[in-house]
Amino acid sequence: MRILPMSTDSFRRQLVLALGRSTPAFHPPRAPRPGRLRNLIDALTRRTPAFTTQQLGSLSSANRQDDSRAADFRETDLAGAELSNRDLREADLGGINLARANFAGVDLTGANLAGVDLRGADLTGVDLTGANLAGVDLRGADLTGVNLTGALLIGANLAGANLAGVDLTAANLRGVDLAGVDLAGVELAAANLTAADLTRADLTGAFLIGADLTGVDLAGVNLAGVDLRGVNLTGVNLTSADLREANLDRANLTGVNLCEANLYGAVLTSTKLAGARWDWATIWPPERAAEIWFRSAERPDQPGVYVVLPEAGGRDRQSVVV
């Protein structure tokens, strides 16, 4: 019987088909021919992870501007790394040392940065919307113009960080150390600041509409002219706080300590003041002073300290300008 030799084209076709079926990934020819072979290689390239995943390996000296979302971050020490203008959306950077790293212009939307060391890092203009920053060390970091909308910052350390122009709308800052931090003009609408340390923090011009400041110590804090509409300040220590011209419309000041606080010119429309403590050093808006006086009763255990009652009906006394 005569055996016909297999054609070169037929052999090549069978080989490619076999490779496509059994090999997870193979390298396409440098100069692939057009036609069915080209189509097969294109299809394999689209569905094979080996062709599409971009592994950074070491970021310490990386300068590429590629999409690094699928990167495999194997290194744990990337201190001083150059990462500017990268796309790191949803990247998992948990536990990595990124102190002094340059993140200028990086997209970190939804990224996991839990427990990361970012001391002294340059985060200028970075988008951290919805990012997990729980336990992050941001001491001395430059956060100028950063977007932290909806970010999780529980347990983060922001001492000495530059937060100029930062957007912290709806951010979770529960228990965060913000002592002495410059928050002037910062967007904090609807932010969760429960039990946060804001001692000596500058909140001048900060936007705090709807923020939750329950249990926060704001003694001596400058809140002059701040928009605090609808803010929950239940039980907050506002001793000696500067609240001049602040907008407290619909704010909850139940049980707050307002001794020696200055509220001259503050808006107290529909403000909940039941249980608020004040003394003779407290300065009220002139138009509300008499009403608050008649609604208050002196604390038997603290002579000279008064408590605003839930409704009008404090001890009858002559109208006095407080």
Distance between alpha carbon 81 and the CA centroid of its chain, in Å? 22
CB atoms closer than 10 angstroms to residue 291:
16
What is the per-residue pLDDT for 17? 59
What letter represents residue 149's amino acid? T
Per-residue b/e over 117-127, b at no fewer than 16 CB within 10 Å?
bbbbbbbbbbb
Per-residue pLDDT of the chain (322 residues; tens, 9 = 90+): 555 554 555 666 665 555 555 554 444 444 444 454 454 444 444 433 333 333 333 444 344 344 444 344 545 677 788 887 788 889 888 878 888 988 888 889 999 998 888 888 888 888 888 899 888 888 888 888 888 888 888 888 777 777 777 788 888 888 887 877 888 888 888 889 988 888 778 887 788 898 998 888 888 888 888 889 999 999 899 999 999 999 999 999 999 999 999 999 999 999 999 999 999 999 999 999 999 999 999 999 999 999 999 865 444 444 333 3
Q: Which helix (H) or strand (E) holds 37?
A: helix 36-47
3-state helix, strand, coil in the chain (%, to 5): 10, 15, 70
CB atoms closer than 10 angstroms to residue 269:
11
In sequence order, the β-bridge partners of residue 278 are: 306
Q: In whole angstroms, give the CA distance from residue 258 to residue 277.
A: 6
CB neighbour class for 106 (10 Å; exposed up to 12, middle 13-18, buried from 19): buried
Which residues, other chains included, contact 245 with Cβ-Cβ below 8 Å and sequence gap of 6+?
224, 225, 264, 265, 266
What is the per-residue pLDDT for 262? 97
Contact 170, 149 (CB under 8 A): yes
What is the per-residue pLDDT for 250? 93
The DSSP code sequence of 79-148 is: TT-B-TT-B-TT-B-TT-B-TT-B-TT-B-TT-B-TT-B-TT-B-TT-B-TT-B-TT-B-TT-B-TT-B-
What is the per-residue pLDDT for 307? 96
DSSP for residue 277: E
